[in-house]
Structure 1
């Protein structure tokens, strides 16, 4: 009884984590550059005294979808989207962070910054500064920035080594301890933004499945609790 109750509670906890993740995805379905998250359940199987096995599943790993979001043309000079693999690199107070959100502007110092004020970095990890009146800059598909015949820098498009972990720090920011390298097939589009890659319909369908599974688990817990009460009453009598 105790084992069954523990397994059910563990499963319920995992379902709650998945429900929270799905709700977060749906809430960010319109967030520029947002990457859909998922939950991976791991299973632990242990033999018990009567010869049967005890299976325990827990939500232990969060995954991030690398599917391409929809690219929308905006016409804004510093709206940038990556078509293909790779991330923009930002300078934050906590160190370099990666993002696919390319809604940039220029701060008072002339640096290209994100919507949160984090400076955009070039391939070498340095900020990119634009001269006053540089609203007519052109940004090529390889990230090269030019104003007329003058080269001003190059937007860095980086990626992590295969299999390296990306840890989501906030909605559109990621951190990693892995080595960063130039993205091999990332292409920059000026005047475009990449939308969220959340598949809202599939997420809503999954939310319904998880909710039903959670409700079934609650019923099993209640039944197990009732059996325990009946057993206790029998022993007392």
Structure 2
């Protein structure tokens, strides 16, 4: 008799994860290079015996990431970089290499180029990118070549994950590519531009309302089912 409650509980748990993903999307709608996320629901059908109705259970455990490109916004900043098309910038966070589309970079006192969170920007060889002290003009070519006062000093790494579906989301619009990554053969890096988040706030609000309604419907069903089971139990005790 409790099968219906168990199946609904599984669905409710998935809806809560979906609501959390939506809340993260809304909160990061203004985060440079952020990629909208969601939850993938899967159905599991269990046989209960010959000539018996099956039980269908749904779970929402798999994460989805929208990799569509966000709008490119011109800023004019010499270390504001955006990638048009395929690829991610490669950064180092505490010894772990992460991928990001957030290209708002800064030059520190030692010349190291980092994200706003302090993660080092890496070059094609996996080494931190540095700008020599006293550099007057910084130019970044479409292939990622960074020049200081006309002299090439590094080539910014532009990489693509080998298995995009297996990327794990990290803080600051970054991802960890557990299956590895490879260099993009013909990257297109734009200097003086930043890529906006690809979150559509209107769509996310509509999703939030739909998930809220679905969750409330599930809760109402469980309340009604609980009352039914209590009524059955009282009848059996008489």
Distance, in Å, in 2 between the alignment partners of 1:63 and 1:81 is 23
Note if 1:72 corresponds to 2:80.
Answer: no
- Distance verdict in 2 for CA 1:162–1:173, change over 3 Å: closer
Query: TM-score if structure 1 supplies the norm length?
Result: 0.96
The equivalences for 1:1-237 within 5 A come to 1-49=1-49, 51-162=52-163, 165-237=166-238
Structure 1 segments of 4 or more deviating over 6 A?
none
**1:85–1:185 Cα contact (<8 Å) kept:** no
- Distance verdict in 2 for CA 1:164–1:178, change over 3 Å: farther
1:10-45 superposed Cα distances (whole Å, 9 cap, x missing partner) = 111111110111111011111111000011011100
Shift of 1:149: 3.4
- Distance verdict in 2 for CA 1:185–1:19, change over 3 Å: farther
Distance, in Å, in 1 between the alignment partners of 2:207 and 2:61 is 18
Shift of 1:169: 1.7
Distance, in Å, in 1 between the alignment partners of 2:216 and 2:157 is 48
Shift of 1:233: 1.1
- Structure 1 residues without counterparts, runs of 5 or longer: none
**1:44–1:55 Cα contact (<8 Å) kept:** yes
**1:29–1:200 Cα contact (<8 Å) kept:** yes
- Distance verdict in 2 for CA 1:58–1:164, change over 3 Å: closer
Indicate the SS of the match to 1:186.
Answer: coil
Distance, in Å, in 1 between the alignment partners of 2:84 and 2:114 is 20
Distance, in Å, in 2 between the alignment partners of 1:164 and 1:53 is 31
- Structure 2 residues without counterparts, runs of 5 or longer: none
Indicate the SS of the match to 1:42.
Answer: strand
Shift of 1:179: 2.9
Shift of 1:194: 0.5
**2:160–2:182 Cα contact (<8 Å) kept:** yes
Give aligned pairs, total: 237
Greater mean alpha carbon deviation, residues 154-163 or residues 224-233: 154-163
Shift of 1:236: 1.7
Indicate the SS of the match to 1:142.
Answer: coil
- Distance verdict in 2 for CA 1:32–1:197, change over 3 Å: same
Query: TM-score if structure 2 supplies the norm length?
Result: 0.95
Shift of 1:63: 1.1
Q: What value does the CA root-mean-square deviation take over the aligned residues?
A: 1.4
